[in-house]
Structure 1
Amino acid sequence: MARVYATPDQLAAYTGQPAPADAARLLSRASRFLDERVLKACLYATDDDGMPTAPELRDAFREAVCIQVGWWDEVGDSTGAAGAGWGSVTLGPVTLGRSVTDVSPDASPARMLAPEAWDLLRTLPPDVIRWEVIW
């Protein structure tokens, strides 16, 4: 079973707003995203379910997935599909553009780790998590 680092109630407590109707799905996706994009390159103690045993890691992972869900809300997309395939878009007086050499869904801001989540994770103490280089 996939690890999910936050609940809809924890998301609501973090944001101070009611959790969206699809909060469980978004938190599950954000947890998988965090595992795939960041945590697979880390060593840390886990319990039998693969959850971190250190309280500061549990707290940081919970906050990081809440931040990621908030980031997706800000960019208006949780999958990258909305930004796939366009080089520039004009809506009235607003023009949005990005490199036409990379218009894949992975180039979308929705497929990036939220900068605030990355900032949080980089501050974790080295005695509870070790960053490994993987190629």
Structure 2
Amino acid sequence: MSLVYATPADLAAWTGTAAPANAVTLLRVASGLVRRATVTAWYATNDTGAPTDPDVVQAFSDATCAQAATWATLGIDPTTAGVDTGTGGRVVASRALGPANISYAGADDTAARRAQLADDLTPEALGILADAGLVRGVRTHG
């Protein structure tokens, strides 16, 4: 049994909106990313391996919710490695304030970015874990 660090209710509280229909899946996969990111961290656990310190429990929950919220907002299904399965999700490549121009990344760029977002913790989730002393720092790809 894999550990899941947040519930759909936690995700709803984090976003201030109803949890998406696939919240259980998003939280399960996000929990796996959080677990892998913190594999070298030292913290107290119970018999199942779940953290017991309230601050660590909260950091794990917050990071998991931050990750799941990003996926939900962008329409990314991490179980499909970020492949767009008909959601029409596009990645903004550039924007301008006046006279309001937006261009979208090409299909290859979009697919690569979605796959990266499906496989890596977001800077927000990493920052939460770093602030709690559970990872060494925030790394971003670019």
Q: Show structure 2 runs of 5+ residues with no match.
A: 85-90, 92-101, 137-142
Q: How far is the alpha carbon of 1:9 from its aligned partner?
A: 0.9
1:116 is matched with which residue? 124
Change in Cα spacing, 1:105 to 1:40, as seen in structure 2 (3 Å) is farther
Residue deviations 1:15-74, cap 9 Å, x none? Answer: 1111111211111111012112x0112221101111111100000100100000011123
**How many Å separate the matches in 1 of 2:44 and 2:7?**
22
**Pick from 91, 98, 105: which aligns with 1:96?**
105
Q: Secondary structure at the match of 2:83?
A: helix
Q: Show structure 1 runs of 5+ residues with no match.
A: 84-88
2:13 is matched with which residue? 13
Q: How far is the alpha carbon of 1:130 from its aligned partner?
A: 7.4
TM-score if structure 2 supplies the norm length? Answer: 0.69
Q: How far is the alpha carbon of 1:106 from its aligned partner?
A: 8.8
TM-score if structure 1 supplies the norm length? Answer: 0.72
The one-letter code matched in structure 2 to 1:81 is: G
1:64 is matched with which residue? 63
Q: Do the aligned residues in 2 keep the contact of 1:77 with 1:110 (CA within 8 Å)? A: yes
The one-letter code matched in structure 2 to 1:61 is: F
Q: How far is the alpha carbon of 1:78 from its aligned partner?
A: 3.0
The one-letter code matched in structure 1 to 2:120 is: M
RMSD (Å) for aligned C-alpha atoms: 2.7
The one-letter code matched in structure 1 to 2:76 is: D
The one-letter code matched in structure 1 to 2:49 is: G
**How many Å separate the matches in 2 of 1:122 and 1:30?**
16
The structure 1 segments of at least 4 consecutive aligned residues displaced by more than 6 Å after TM superposition are 103-106
